[in-house]
Amino acid sequence: MIMFRIGELARLADVTPDTIRYYEKQQMMDHEVRTEGGFRLYSESDLQRLKFIRYAKQLGFTLETIRELLSIRIDPEHHTCQESKSIVQSRLVEVESKIKELQHMRRSLQRLNDACCGSAHSTAYCSILEALEQGASRRKE
């Protein structure tokens, strides 16, 4: 069985050793095997777990949710596919909501950008600043 020291594992997973230690503190990874000199040793399975965590983080899952997905992965006999699916569906709803929010923000910024002549005149009558002030006073109401 191939075993990796923490630095090798970190390099293979494109993380820092501190990241691995953090996941261990969060009880998302173990380091059960050590060398005689006390160095942590990790298996291919640990590398796969680390890659699983990293990819789930890239998808925006919280550490708590990743921990839940890991428990489903580790103990498949006591879980159903529906559990994983509902977690993914929940994240998808969050992402879709964020996309709508960002699209609204983009339209607002585009209107601000289009309203400004962009010339080098004084900002005393800048349409962007005026629109931001009006928007701020409308929000208070």
Could you tell me if residue 62 is inside a domain? yes
Q: Provide the mean pLDDT of the chain.
A: 89
**Residue 74: pLDDT band with limits 50, 70, 90:** confident
Q: pLDDT at residue 124 above 90?
A: no
User: Taking residues 101-122, what's their average pLDDT?
Assistant: 87
pLDDT at 114: 86
Which amino acid is located at 9 in the chain?
A: L
Sign of the dihedral defined by the CA atoms of residues 58, 62, 63, 67, in that order: negative
Q: Strand pairing partners for 40?
A: 34
Segment 59-70 mean pLDDT: 95
What average pLDDT does the segment 35-39 reach? 81
Which residue reads 């230690």 in tokens?
Answer: 21
Beta-strand runs (E) in the chain: 4-5, 33-34, 40-42
> Residue 118 falls within a domain, yes or no?
no
pLDDT exceeds 90 at position 57: yes
User: Could you give the number of structural domains in the chain?
Assistant: 1
Mean pLDDT of 26-52: 88
pLDDT at 139: 59
Q: List the domain range (segments joined by +) for residue 74.
A: 4-79
- Measured distance CA(132)–CA(48) in Å, rounded: 49
User: For residue 14, is it within any domain?
Assistant: yes
